[in-house]
């Protein structure tokens, strides 16, 4: 059986590689020729454990080829981005992908959509193709930094345009998924994917609102959340500088655009969207000109900078002509230049920790001493509450924590 995977990004590449290793003939397609070259040469940057090894094995087996145009196949899997545009889902990438494979699709072929979409999108795609095909929706449910493990071990939801479509898609995923596979219709599956990310977004918004309240009341939100979570039915998440990534920060809007009843969801999204501005305003009170950003990825120990709060915070600081330096050894691509540690802290008035990379948690005394000697003022603002406060205090750093007590 031949499978054509459209889109070789965070999900498409590992999915195509796993299928190839499982014995399928796979053609991976991407319009980014630089990306294709990096995949062929195994020179792409990734923080995903064992991904390079997997892709290498898939290519060397002869079962995976990567190309810039789709080919005829028995199964087509679409894994392209669905970004946010004007608070609505931009379906242009997915529609372009479908148009590119439409001439190649034959009757009884199976088309699987993995991209996150608003409810009802698969029904529209089915009408677009307008052939006697099987169509299913199978959203990814993975955590960046642990994608391979979760692709294999997590439960999967498969929604079919009809029952037979769901069953046919299940046979594909059964070849590598060890978790349970649940079947439903496409619109339910589309909604389930959004609900999963909305659940976390709402919880994070609650934590962020608690952080603001804690600063107003002069209490430590981290202690308060820890104590509240001692209750057997309470699990408040951690506050932070904003929500990033291609899922939680975007997906809630896909449901808001489809429902007038998504009031709590909309409010939560607005709270989280406002956090970078809240943090930027705090930074402006702590530094007059030069600021160092530690961590521009949207979360710790990953290379993904999509929708990162760091970008929005920096944008706000640049509006007031701040000199902003960024340090992040994990980041793959970023809007602003990335410097080494020494360059980023030289003559800086303030370090702002935005991503909870292990590196920042594990700075040693000699590291902090070296940093302090290079800075103009020894001040650090930790929006993730991860630094070793005692070590930084020992080097005469003034420490501020998001949601922490005021001095």
CA distances, 362 to each of 129, 238, 348, 357, 391 (Å):
53, 20, 21, 9, 10
Return the pLDDT at 142.
87
The pLDDT tens digits for 257-279 are: 999 999 999 999 999 999 999 99
Q: Per this entry, what is the length of the chain?
A: 407
Res 120: pLDDT: 97
Parts of the chain with a pLDDT under 70? 407
Known catalytic residues are: 193, 247
pLDDT for residue 407 = 64
- For residue 141, the model assigns a pLDDT of 87
Taking the C-alpha atoms of residue 297 and residue 356, their distance in angstroms, rounded to an integer, is 9
CA distance 356 to 142: 19
Q: What is the pTM for the complete model shown?
A: 0.91
Q: Please, what are the domains in the chain?
A: 2-179 (3.40.50.720), 219-401 (3.40.50.720)
pLDDT one-digit tens code per residue, 315-331: 999 999 999 999 999 99
Tell me, rounded to whole angstroms, the distance of Cα 315 from its chain centroid: 20
Supply the mean pLDDT for the chain: 96
Q: What is the pLDDT of residue 145?
A: 82
Q: What are phi and psi of 77, to 5 degrees?
A: -115, 125
């Amino acid at each position: 059986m031949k499978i054509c995977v459209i889109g070789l990004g965070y999900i498409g590449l590992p999915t195509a590689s796993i299928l190839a290793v499982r014995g399928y003939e796979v053609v991976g397609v991407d319009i980014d020729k630089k990306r294709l070259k990096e995949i062929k040469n195994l020179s792409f940057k990734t923080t995903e454990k064992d991904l390079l090894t997997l892709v290498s094995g898939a290519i060397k087996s002869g079962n995976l080829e990567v190309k810039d145009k789709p080919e005829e196949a028995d199964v087509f899997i679409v894994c392209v981005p669905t970004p946010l545009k004007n608070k609505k889902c931009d379906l242009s990438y997915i529609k372009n992908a479908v148009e590119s494979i439409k001439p190649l699709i034959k009757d009884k072929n199976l088309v699987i959509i993995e991209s996150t979409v608003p409810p009802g999108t698969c029904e529209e795609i089915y009408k677009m193709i307008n052939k006697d095909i099987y169509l299913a929706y199978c959203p990814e449910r993975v955590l960046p930094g642990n994608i391979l493990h979760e692709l294999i071990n997590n439960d999967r939801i498969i929604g079919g345009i009809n029952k037979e479509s769901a069953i046919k898609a299940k046979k594909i995923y059964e070849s590598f998924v060890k978790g349970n596979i649940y079947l439903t219709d496409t619109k339910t599956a589309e909604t389930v994917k959004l609900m999963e990310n909305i659940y976390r977004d709402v919880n994070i918004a609650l934590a962020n609102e608690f952080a603001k309240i804690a600063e107003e009341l002069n209490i430590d939100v981290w202690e308060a959340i820890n104590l509240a979570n001692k209750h057997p039915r309470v699990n408040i998440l951690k506050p932070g500088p904003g929500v990033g990534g291609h899922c939680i920060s975007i997906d809630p809007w896909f449901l808001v655009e489809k429902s007038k009843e998504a009031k709590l969801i909309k409010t939560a999204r607005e709270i989280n969207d406002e956090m970078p501005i809240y943090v930027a305003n705090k930074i402006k009170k702590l530094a007059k000109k030069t600021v160092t950003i530690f961590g521009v990825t949207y979360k710790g120990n990953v290379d993904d900078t999509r929708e990162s709060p760091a970008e929005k915070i920096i944008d706000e600081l640049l509006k007031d002509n701040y000199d902003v330096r960024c340090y992040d050894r994990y980041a793959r691509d970023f809007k602003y230049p990335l410097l080494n540690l020494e360059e980023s802290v030289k003559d800086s008035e303030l370090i702002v920790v935005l991503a909870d990379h292990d590196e920042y948690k594990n700075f040693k005394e000699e590291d902090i001493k070296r940093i302090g000697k290079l800075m103009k003022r020894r001040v650090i603002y930790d929006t993730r509450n991860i630094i070793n406060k005692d070590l930084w205090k020992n080097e005469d750093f003034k420490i501020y924590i998001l949601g922490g007590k005021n001095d």
